[in-house]
Amino acid sequence: MTAGPSPDHHPSTRPSGPLAPFGARLRRAMDERGPLCVGIDPHASLLADWGLNDDVAGLARFTRTVVEVLGEHVAVFKPQSAFFERFGSRGLAVLETAVVEARERGALVLMDAKRGDIGSTMAAYAETYLHPDSPLFSDALTVSPYLGYGSLKPAADLARESGAGLFVLALTSNPEGAEVQRAVREDGRTLAATMLGHLAAENAGAEPLGSFGAVVGATLGDLSTFDLAINGPLLAPGIGAQGATPADLPTVFGAAAENVLPSVSRGVLKHGPDAAGLRAAADRFTEEVRTALDQAP
C-alpha cells in the first residue's frame, strides 16, 4: 500500500448527471443495504490498534481498507473531517480520494464536518461539500444551526440544487449539548424542538423521505416529549463504544424509528484491518438494527 495521494492530487467527485434528491437516494440505500452508517474516524489510537503509524501513510491505508472492504456493503459512510484535516493538505487529499472511491462503490457519503457560520462564509462551506464541482462533494453534510437556523440557508439552497442533504445538530449525545439544545425559548419551546420544526417544514411533502435530517443521539433515552416526525432521516450516533445498542432504538425514537440511520464507528472499525472481521461486524450491526427497528411501534 502506498502512502496515499500527493497533496496536489484532487480527484473529481462530480456526478455524471443530475442526482435524485438525497432523501430518496438514502431511503433506497437503507432499504437495499440496511440502515447502517459506518463512521470513518481514524483516531491515532485506532491506527495504532491496526498496527499503523499516525501519519499520512497510516491514514491512507486505514481509510482505503475501510472503503474497499465495506464500500459495496453499507448504505452510508461518515468520514470525520477533523481526523483528516489534522494532517494538512495531504490528509485532505486522502479524504478526497476516499469520497470518490466510496461513492464509486455505491455508498453514500455523509461528511461529518459540523460546519456553521453566516453569509458568504456559510456559502463557502456549502460550496466545499455540496457543490458538484468540488473535490469534496458529498451526498450530505452535518451542520450546526446555533447561529440561528436561517444561517444555514446557503447550505440548504445548494443542497436542494445539487441533490444533496443536510443533517442538522438537534439533540446530540454529548452531555454539554443540553445547556443549549434544551434551553427554553420565550414561546415555551426548546431550541432542539425549534430546529426539529424547521426541518419538518423543509421536508413537507417530500416522498419517500425528505433530504433534511436531524442528528439525534441514540444514548438519550426516551425522547417522546420531542416530535421526531420530521419526514426526514434521523442520524443516530452513539451505538457501540458510546454505550447505546441497537435494542435501544425503539425506546429513543418510537414511531420515527423507520427513518433512523444509526451510526457506528469504533464498534466496526476495531475489528480491522482484517477484512472478514470488518465485514462481519458491519453485517452484525446491520441485522441487529433491522431486528430492533422491526419492533418499533
pLDDT in tens, 205-236: 999 999 999 999 999 999 999 999 999 999 99
CA 210-216-217 angle, to 5 degrees, is 150
pLDDT of residue 18: 78
Quickly tell me which residue has 464500500 as its cell: 71
Taking CA atoms, 235 is separated from 86, 123, 141, 169, 247, in Å, by: 25, 23, 11, 9, 16
pLDDT at 181 over 90: yes
Tell me the pLDDT tens digit for each residue of 265-292.
Answer: 999 999 999 999 999 999 999 999 999 9
pTM attached to this predicted model: 0.93
Closest of 206, 217, 215, 227 to residue 167, by C-alpha: 215
Q: Is the pLDDT of residue 8 over 50?
A: no
Q: What is the mean pLDDT of the chain?
A: 93
Determine the average pLDDT of the residues in 13-24: 79
Cα 98 from Cα 92, distance rounded (Å)? 10
- Give percent helix, percent strand, percent coil of the chain, each to the nearest 5: 45, 15, 40
Span 6-18, mean pLDDT?
Answer: 52
Q: What's the pLDDT at 5?
A: 42
Q: What is the pLDDT of residue 220?
A: 92
Cell numbers representing residue 137 in the block: 462533494
H-helix or E-strand spanning residue 260: strand 260-264
Residue 10 pLDDT greater than 90, yes or no: no
Predicted local confidence at residue 244, as pLDDT: 84
The predicted structure's pLDDT at residue 242? 73
Alpha helices, DSSP H only, in 34-151? 44-49, 56-70, 82-85, 88-104, 119-130
Closest Cα partner for 81 from 42, 107, 126, 108? Answer: 42
Amino acid at 135: P
Is the distance from CB of 199 to CB of 178 less than 8 angstroms? no
Q: Which residues have a catalytic role annotated?
A: 114
**155 near 122, Cβ under 8 Å?**
yes
Residue 95 pLDDT more than 80? yes
pLDDT for the residue 238: 86
Q: What is the pLDDT of residue 1?
A: 35
Instruction: Give residue-wise pLDDT tens across range 55-79.
Output: 999 999 999 999 999 999 999 999 9
Give residue 295's pLDDT: 79
The helix/strand/coil state of 100 is helix
> Is a pLDDT exceeding 80 seen at residue 199?
yes
